[in-house]
Amino acid sequence: MNTTDKIYIAGHRGMVGSAIQRNLEAAGYHNIITRTSRELDLRDQSLVNSFFQEERPDYVFLAAAKVGGILANNTYRGEFLYDNLMIEANIIEAARVFGVTKLMFLGSSCIYPKLAPQPLTEDALLTGPLEPTNEPYAIAKITGIKLCDAYRHQYGCDFISVMPTNLYGPNDNYDLKTSHVLPALIRKFHEAKVNNEKEVVMWGTGLPKREFLHADDLADACVFLMENFSDYGFVNVGTGVDLAIIDLARTIKEVVGYKGEITHDLTKPDGTPRKLMNVDKLHAMGWKHKIDLREGIEKVYAALEAESWF
């Protein structure tokens, strides 16, 4: 990419899209185009086509998606499948029709089978059943990967896919009904501290293990891969290190400064037992993450307090 190239970031207000925009602007890219969901409904093919016809972007980062945690995924199953299918299909097709030089599709680690061998290697895709609670979202993301591959095969489009691990960072979602585990725990511990509550209740046993990557690290990897990767399939993006959710909770408890107890609601699901990315492919290309988990959580919480967000 050249700094003068026109770059469209779909989903620029989300955690991933906003991080990509920050990264590009810091590197001197100044021809970035965006639209909010109110300005452009990405589920509407005619509107998407009109936008691409008018703007003619050179590069596209497809970070727009309907996202959420276990509760949201399992509750709004139809919406998660339909909305994400429409968003990715409309943008990928418009990118083909209107001659986009290169497109990057961002997926999720939930594409892997629930019981796939750990750590998760890219060739484990479609080798077993998915985690039932987020199956619709996962199917949509798998479709996006396959659509990019199919367009590369049939039309010669330079469309690539990347699969991030669990993310956190600026512009995360802290709504306890729809958020992922890390931001949900930050909010729970903060509110428990402010309200002098004796305990914070976690979902499940806390034994499942997860890997977490700061959104700014993901953005750096995305820009790196946009410039250095052109092939079928996809690239895992993560740290290659995981920890039990209970250990994550203890770390957040310390960062927030909460003094009470952690208890467990065992009527709630644990989800997938473990999700750790194998990042050998990415490391072999020369990229590694820079932000340690505790350091990242400290930065996120400090920013939230400074903004009086809570």
Q: List residues with catalytic annotation.
A: 137
Distance CA 122, CA 281 (A): 9
What are 212's strand-pairing partners? 166
Does 188 count as an annotated binding residue? yes
Does 144 count as an annotated binding residue? no
Does 15 count as an annotated binding residue? yes
Does 275 count as an annotated binding residue? no
Question: CB of 193 within 8 A of CB of 205?
Answer: no
Does 185 count as an annotated binding residue? no
Does 156 count as an annotated binding residue? no
Question: What phi, psi does 8 have (nearest 5°)?
Answer: -100, 125
Does 250 count as an annotated binding residue? no
Does 97 count as an annotated binding residue? no
Does 204 count as an annotated binding residue? no
Query: Measured between alpha carbons, how far is residue 10 from residues 42, 71, 93 in Å?
Result: 9, 25, 14
Does 286 count as an annotated binding residue? no
Does 296 count as an annotated binding residue? no
Does 210 count as an annotated binding residue? yes
Does 166 count as an annotated binding residue? yes
Tell me the binding residues: 11-17, 106-109, 141, 164-167, 180, 188, 203, 210, 270
Annotated binding-site ranges for substrate: 188, 203, 210, 270
* Binding-site positions for NADP(+): 11-17, 106-109, 141, 164-167, 180
